[in-house]
Amino acid sequence: MKIKSKKFLILALLITVGTMILYYLFSKSIYFDIFISWSQQNLILFVTVLFLLKIFGIVWPPLPGGLFTLAAIPFIGWLPAYLVDFVGSLVGSSIAFLVGKRYGYPLLEKLFDDSTIDKIRQLKIKPNREIEAITTLRIFTGSLFMEAICYGAGLLNVRFSSFFIGSIISHQIVGIPSFYLFSNLFNLNNLIFGILGFVIIIPIFVKLKSRFLE
């Protein structure tokens, strides 16, 4: 069944908000410290589950895999949580790219709405600008369209190597500051520093966007 955009966004929003509420309630419960202890004693299992959730969150976009890895910061630290998110994102994105390239638009039409499919069809990536284009698209598109890009990049004549490198660069630009800031959420100085960083970076990419897309 085709996922219409409004229904998809509502579902994704409900899952995201619900996950955040449950996490907040859990963090205030007596079981929070118990779970921290359990995660340390079962670190391999804990990290494996996070890794699989991140992959599945890209292959099936409504699942907020990134929220689970962010929520893992108090248990394993921001850098290990980021690395799990990073590797899981690359694996999930690669699966989506290869599956999308193999099965084409008939598969995408079962996953995304007509508007999203039309946006993908209209994208024209300039030759020799594939890495920059994928990096820009993955940074500045919403969650739904970002997942659609993973599935549709192979149909835009983007080489897998370019897609993979662009995915690495975009994840580092967004992921490292996000995970670091989340780990210091209550530190005002770090928060201000991170916001200023994004304020500087975003206009640069917006200005250069026309160089990568036709």
Q: State pLDDT tens for residues 156-168.
A: 889 999 999 999 9
| Banded model confidence at residue 186, pLDDT cuts 50, 70, 90 | very low
More confident site: 122 or 214: 122
CA distance 173 to 171: 6
Rounded average pLDDT over 95-106: 92
CA 52 to chain centre: 14
Q: State pLDDT tens for residues 57-90.
A: 888 866 666 778 888 888 898 899 999 999 999 9
CA distance 195 to 19: 24
| Banded model confidence at residue 118, pLDDT cuts 50, 70, 90 | confident
CA distance 155 to 103: 10
CA 140 to chain centre: 11
Identify residue 56 by its one-letter amino acid code. F
Q: Does residue 210 register a pLDDT over 60?
A: no
Helix (H) or strand (E) segment spanning residue 158? none
In angstroms, the Cα distances linking 190 to 37, 82, 139, 196, 214 are: 28, 17, 21, 10, 37
- pLDDT given at position 35: 81
Q: Is 167 exposed, middle or buried (0-12, 13-18, 19+ CB in 10 A)?
A: buried
Q: State pLDDT tens for residues 119-152.
A: 888 888 877 888 888 888 887 765 557 788 889 8
Question: Which tokens belong to 110?
Answer: 């079962």
Rounded average pLDDT over 90-115: 89
In angstroms, the Cα distances linking 119 to 96, 112, 113, 208 are: 18, 11, 10, 20
- pLDDT given at position 192: 52
- pLDDT given at position 81: 93
- Predicted model pTM: 0.74
Q: What would you measure as the largest C-alpha separation in the chain, in angstroms?
A: 56
More confident site: 196 or 115: 115
- pLDDT given at position 20: 64
Q: State pLDDT tens for residues 17-55.
A: 666 677 667 777 887 788 888 888 999 999 999 999 999
- pLDDT given at position 162: 92
Q: Does residue 5 register a pLDDT over 80?
A: no
